[in-house]
Chain A
Amino acid sequence: MKKALDLVQRIGAHPDSRCWFVSWSPNGALLASCGGDKALRIWGREGDSWVCKTVLQDGHQRTVRKVAWSPCGNYLASASFDATTCIWKKKDDDFESLTVLEGHENEVKCVAWAPSGNLLATCSRDKSVWVWEVDEDEEYECVTVLNSHTQDVKHVAWHPTKELLASASYDNNICIYKEEDDDWECQATLQGHTSTVWSLCFDAAGEKMASCSDDRTVKIWKEYPSESAQSDLSWKCVCTLSGYHGRTVYDVAWCRLTGALATASGDDAVRVFKEDVTASPDEPVFSLVAQATKAHSQDVNCVSWNPKEAGLLASCSDDGEIAIWRFEEEE
């Protein structure tokens, strides 16, 4: 079975700057990118190629670090080093700034929408994770400030089916949060990585979570019913992928359609792993099935699978470029 990672298109997305993050819209038709040039760009397909449809330039005073689409696809949230998170509303083919969420003391590192569309999570270098609630009047309110990490929080991600939040930090830990008695609390702290955890993501069913780190490994975590009566679930590390990445692994993305796992690394490469079907589910085995060793000319910051088109992968880099790839599994 031959597998390949073919380059579809390379885009000079954020000229003279870093491209920090790319995110596909829920319907897979648009790609949002953000970068060191303080701008957000929306890319769409025209014929066979991807072109820039919109540039959102005046939303932030500093680097835009991450961008996230709401589950309905009508809103965008952008997290910036200027300590704010901007919410944009889709208006015809353009986006206008709806509101600005303030409160973090310094750089906001990540923003993520819950699958319900009613909650938003942000995290920052100020070591905290904030959960915001949206009401029918498009009003955003902070419902909790969580201080479970002892260092910069790099990433937050929501569970696909449960109201569960995970965060990754410079303190080498992953925290899992749940709403208990009308307030959010840290339900578990997952230790294992020996350096900064840069990113994490859940698989389609939400039974497994992948995390990646400055320690050059990717860890797979699985949820188990806990022995003690207190919490109903605990997460254990069931697999560690080491020896594949020459440098820090900055991002990991689990394809919700195919189950393929993509990674972005400081060694300029993009890699794709797949779980061996023969291994036991409690001791999964992942194999490297495709890689683009010189995917970019500098650190690859992000990888993102298209949610509707299987095998379509986007990556972006410190070199300011976005690359679109096709991952093929030929029989």
Chain B
Amino acid sequence: FRGEGYQEGFRKGTHRGLQNGRRNGASHGAKLSSEISFYYGFAVTWKCLLECNVDNKSRKRLRALEALLILIQKSPLDDPQSMKLQEDTEKLRAKFRQVCSMLNVPTDFKDYIKTAEGTSF
């Protein structure tokens, strides 16, 4: 009976574990993509706003926005187990902060995004 009980428990545990894992993964994935999409939308909007300006300052800002967009495009968002993802996300966040500083925009976006901190694999 003990053997059977064990088997049953093991099966139920595996099932529960898979469910939890899936939920957890989905939640982290959603948070991360919502954060990165925010940066993408932010960068695209500012690019549109500044594209027509020819002054030096705007040109520097456009270059930084371009760099941010390239970083987003290059990051391996489809591969959650990639080591590069963690590194790239950090670089993205740092670049975003730098761009905000250049645009004189305060980086208090707590109402819009919740960064997926503490995501480790």
Q: Is the CB of A147 within 8 A of B101?
A: no
A residues sitting closer than 8 Å to B (CB atoms) are 102-103, 105, 128, 130, 139, 141-147
The CA-CA distance from A128 to B95 in the complex, in Å, is: 12
Distance in angstroms from A207 CB to nearest chain B CB is: 31
| Residue in B closest to A126 when the chains form the complex, CB atoms | B97
Q: A147 touches which one: B60, B94, B102 (CB < 8 A)?
A: B94
**In B48-96, which residues have CB < 8 Å from any A CB?**
57, 60, 90-91, 93-95
**In B24-50, which residues have CB < 8 Å from any A CB?**
none
**Residues in chain A near residue B95, CB distance under 8 A:** 145
Total contacting residues, chain B, CB less than 8 A: 14
**Residues in chain A near residue B93, CB distance under 8 A:** 147
Pairs A-B, 5 closest by C-beta atoms: A145-B94, A142-B101, A103-B101, A145-B98, A145-B97
Distance in angstroms from A129 CB to nearest chain B CB is: 10
Does residue B116 face the partner (Cβ distance < 8 Å to A)?
Answer: no
Chain B contact residues: over half helix, strand or loop, or mixed? helix
Q: A141 touches which one: B91, B97, B102, B106 (CB < 8 A)?
A: B102
Does residue B100 face the partner (Cβ distance < 8 Å to A)?
Answer: yes
**Residues in chain A near residue B98, CB distance under 8 A:** 130, 142-145
Distance in angstroms from A96 CB to nearest chain B CB is: 21
**Residues in chain B near residue A146, CB distance under 8 A:** 94
| A–B complex contacts, Cβ < 8 Å, 26 sampled | A102-B106, A103-B97, A103-B100, A103-B101, A103-B107, A105-B107, A128-B94, A128-B97, A130-B98, A130-B101, A139-B57, A141-B60, A141-B101, A142-B98, A142-B101, A142-B102, A143-B98, A144-B94, A144-B98, A145-B94, A145-B98, A145-B101, A146-B94, A147-B90, A147-B91, A147-B94
**Residues in chain A near residue B94, CB distance under 8 A:** 128, 144-147
Distance in angstroms from A156 CB to nearest chain B CB is: 16
**Residues in chain A near residue B102, CB distance under 8 A:** 141-142
6 further A-B contacts with Cβ under 8 Å, apart from A130-B98, A145-B94, are: A103-B100, A103-B101, A128-B94, A141-B101, A142-B101, A147-B93
| Residue in A closest to B104 when the chains form the complex, CB atoms | A102
| Residue in B closest to A135 when the chains form the complex, CB atoms | B56
The CA-CA distance from A143 to B106 in the complex, in Å, is: 16
The CA-CA distance from A143 to B102 in the complex, in Å, is: 8
What 0/1 pattern do residues 91 to 121 of B give for CB contact below 8 A with A? Answer: 1011101101110001100000000000000
**Residues in chain A near residue B100, CB distance under 8 A:** 103
**Residues in chain B near residue A130, CB distance under 8 A:** 98, 101
**Residues in chain B near residue A147, CB distance under 8 A:** 90-91, 93-94
**Residues in chain A near residue B106, CB distance under 8 A:** 102
**Residues in chain B near residue A144, CB distance under 8 A:** 94, 98
Q: Is the CB of A102 within 8 A of B90?
A: no
Distance in angstroms from A87 CB to nearest chain B CB is: 15
**Residues in chain B near residue A139, CB distance under 8 A:** 57
The CA-CA distance from A130 to B60 in the complex, in Å, is: 17
Distance in angstroms from A135 CB to nearest chain B CB is: 9
| Residue in B closest to A139 when the chains form the complex, CB atoms | B57
The CA-CA distance from A145 to B90 in the complex, in Å, is: 10
Distance in angstroms from B35 CB to nearest chain A CB is: 16
The CA-CA distance from A30 to B42 in the complex, in Å, is: 46
The CA-CA distance from A102 to B82 in the complex, in Å, is: 34
**Residues in chain A near residue B101, CB distance under 8 A:** 102-103, 130, 141-142, 145
The CA-CA distance from A303 to B94 in the complex, in Å, is: 33
**Residues in chain B near residue A103, CB distance under 8 A:** 97, 100-101, 107
**Residues in chain A near residue B91, CB distance under 8 A:** 147
**Residues in chain A near residue B90, CB distance under 8 A:** 147
The CA-CA distance from A102 to B90 in the complex, in Å, is: 20
